[in-house]
Amino acid sequence: MGRKISRRHVLFSMGAVSLGGLSWSLSDHEEAFASHPAIAAQTGLVPLIYSPSYNISAFGLEHLHPFDSSKYDKIYKSIKNAGLRSEDDFLRPTSISEEALLRVHTREYLDSLKDSWELAKILEVGPSMFVPSILLDWKVLKPMRVAAGGTLLTCRTALQHGLAINLGGGYHHAFSNKGGGFCVYSDVPVAINALHEEGLLKRALIIDTDAHQGNGFATLAQASNERISLLDFYDESIYPIPKVEEDWAIAFPKGTDGKTYLTALEDNVPRAIDKYKPDLIVYNAGSDVLEPDPLSTFKLNSNDMSARDFFVVDYARSKNIPVAMVLAGGYSKDSALAHAASIKGILKKFDDVS
């Protein structure tokens, strides 16, 4: 295994990030769901949410760093190639609205994203400070708003179907008034607050298994008046430092293996669900727990990760709690295939194709 490298080194080596844009209004969400032929005709299939805009293109510079810039497309194609879905079986998300973002983020923060230097600090991509802000909005922020819209659609759909999976999302380092660690919009709290305002849920539990502490989610949960609770499993030896206060933290030491990790998971998930009694679980399922990942020290393999994801989803569904799954971080070459294998295992159990 190669030398572990820092988050900042990875992103500055990329150069400016370029993403494909896609945008609709938030009001399209329910219409897109109601009129979608695959979901209308085959309600037994677990809804999967995906947009080509999730994938990152960096003009070939992506080959200089470990982030797999097309991992979302690889997950999508792996599921299709396995015959588990056709192209029309995926729900296409729309862009999150400014109104929804303002339920969580301050106006000052959203306005600050018009400053290229501010965005360069959040993304840790130095050269992007020289890119005009209008291009950064088109190439970076709009695609992230689509991914945030995907998280909202996933949560909404999970409440209706019991389980839904977004092939992106999980920006857990974004606070109400600042971003960081590649995260601009705090998509999960945004989605939870939007659905709360609509009267669709009272309390949500975020179960975060990304290798990094979800410091943004944690802070927003603390300020949510018990609307949001957080159970967070993370590597205590890595970013962010220092850690923030949170509801329920499972901080693992450097180099934790799969057996130790899964034992803690299987002990704490049931207890947290019993304590918080959520109307919805949002599962933030990072693949940076894998041993080859350059940005963490965990020693889980793909089978461990699949077992982790299956346990969380299966236990929640056994308690009849809806689950919205998002994919969060993951920077090794194994990330996409591990996510695909995990999702396939979940679909094998929860797709009703009888």
Q: Among 122, 194, 113, 99, which Cα is nearest to 156's?
A: 194
Q: For residue 56, what are its two tokens?
A: 């990152």
What are phi and psi for residue 158, nearest 5 degrees?
A: -60, -40
Catalytic residue among 29, 65, 173, 212: 173
* Torsion angle in degrees (nearest 10) through CA of 115, 117, 119, 125: 150
| Residue 287 to residue 308: CA distance in whole angstroms | 11
Task: Provide CB contacts within 8 A for 23, sequence distance 6+.
Answer: 94, 95, 142, 145, 146
**What does the DSSP 8-state code read for residue 96?**
P
Per the annotation, the verdict on 36 as an active-site residue is no
Q: Are 185 and 144 in contact (CB under 8 A)?
A: yes
The span from the CA of 88 to the CA of 17, in Å, is 29
Side-chain-side CA neighbours of residue 196 (13 Å): 21
- The set of catalytic residues is 173
